[in-house]
Amino acid sequence: MKILLVDDEEQLVSTLAERLSLRGFEASWATTCLDALAMVEIDRFSIAVLDVKMPLMSGLELKDKLQARCPDMKFIFLTGHGSRSNFKSAALDIGKKYYLIKPLNIDVLVQKIQELTAILGNDS
């Protein structure tokens, strides 16, 4: 199972990828939405972890574009702003339990990934 991490904070996203790899996940990362879109044209990812607020397009907009290309992809959202007001439009679709606030606890992220992995396994 491959995980795509997208956040405009390079140090954060590269560190998350490394820490997830140490826990047995195959994680790739991008710092721009355009790079993420290019990556899904080359490789298949089961889960995307997206920052909500990024330049050029939001994580919610990126989700829509990724989902158009990869309908089975599952999503986890991150924000450093602590406000759920911008997130209400997607709350019904993905559920608040897949919305994490930075600074991120890696164990919580791993738990959410494992939950989605179980869902993906049930969808097969």
Are 31 and 10 in contact by the 8 Å Cβ rule? The answer is yes
pTM: 0.87
Strand partners, 42: none
- Domain residue ranges in the chain: 2-123
Contact indicator for 36, 58 with CB cutoff of 8 Å: no
| The pLDDT value given to residue 92 | 46
DSSP 15: H
Residue with tokens 């791993």: 110
Third-level CATH fold of 2-123: Rossmann fold (3.40.50)
- Report the chain (124 residues): mean pLDDT per 10 consecutive residues: 96 97 97 98 96 91 95 90 53 63 91 91 65
